[in-house]
Amino acid sequence: MAATTTQFAKQITEVALEARIDYLDIYYQQNVYPELATLKERIRESGQCFITQAGFHPGLPAVLIRKGAAYFDTFESAIIGFSMKTRIEKPESVYELVDALSDYKADIYKDGQWRRGTYKDAVKIDFGSYFGVKSCVPIDMIEMRSMPEMYRLKSAGVYVAGFNWFVDYVIFPLIMLSQMIRKGLLRHFWAKALIWGINNLSGDEERVVFLLQAEGEKGGGCQEVVIRCEHHSAYDFTVIPVIAALKQYIDGSIRKPGLWMMSHIVDPDRLLDDMGQMGVSIQTLVAKKTAS
């Protein structure tokens, strides 16, 4: 399901159930999963396989954490970060971003518990030679919820870098202010303003970097691990993980009854290997951390 009509997500799922076909969606919005979860038992009993939250955000955060866990005896901290430069053609493509800004929330895991994150929880992340070090704000990814318990993490979160100074410090605040007046106010206007700011002030070259920055213990010492995925197109980078996941579905290795998030059901090693074969540059950096 490739659509921005998330208000109909549950109805579409029910139609797929009635038609007795399997289902996969690439919805970005985090309010979709709780809606689909109300049908969880029906989906399982039907014997159909429903995969949701496919893509790279969501889609890859839990994959990288599951991959990173293999590098530690004790996994302590998992920070997911991404930065991208892209060009956008149609205002409809950023409606969901405008909507997300109108209802911004981000939960982060700190000191063994979840709490609401704000812009004050911004962190610095090194994205490598192209983007360098950028300040990133937390965003919500429901696929992250089970990670701290699964790996006994002390801290975890997903953080995103901005686009450019004009979009980050002029357009975004104005959108948020207008949505405080009335949700959905000037939605098309703000979408066009975003496109102008992104396309004209971010440079011509497209790029996306998505990474895990992790810390923990290995062999009695402290260790840092960075798994960095990089591609020249944000659009391709959205599709590539989906294709890699579908390869596992088609051969039957992940096709099982129930409702699943893509990042939880796929084999992370195979997914990343297949992504590499489809043109994604994937680097893993492992370093011993000296005590400060």
Q: What is the pLDDT of residue 8?
A: 78
Q: How wide is the angle at C-alpha 6 spanned by C-alphas 244 and 184, nearest 5°?
A: 130
Q: Distance between CA 238 and CA 145 in Å, rounded?
A: 22
Q: What is the pLDDT of residue 291?
A: 60
Q: Distance between CA 122 and CA 167 in Å, rounded?
A: 17
pLDDT under 50: residue ranges of the chain? none
15: CB partners within 8 A, 6+ apart? none
Q: pTM for the complete prediction?
A: 0.91
Q: What is the pLDDT of residues 186-220, one digit of tens each?
A: 999 999 999 999 999 988 889 999 999 999 999 99
Instruction: Look at phi and psi of residue 241 and say left if phi exceeds 0, alpha if psi is from -120 to 50, else beta.
Output: alpha
Q: What is the pLDDT of residue 21?
A: 95
Q: Distance between CA 100 and CA 227 in Å, rounded?
A: 27
Q: Tell whether the torsion through CA atoms of 17, 21, 15 and 260 is positive or negative.
A: positive
Q: What is the pLDDT of residue 183?
A: 87
Q: Distance between CA 255 and CA 191 in Å, rounded?
A: 38
Question: What domains can you pick out in the chain, each with its CATH number?
Answer: 6-289 (3.30.360.10)
Asked whether 198 and 89 are in contact (CB, 8 A), the reply is no
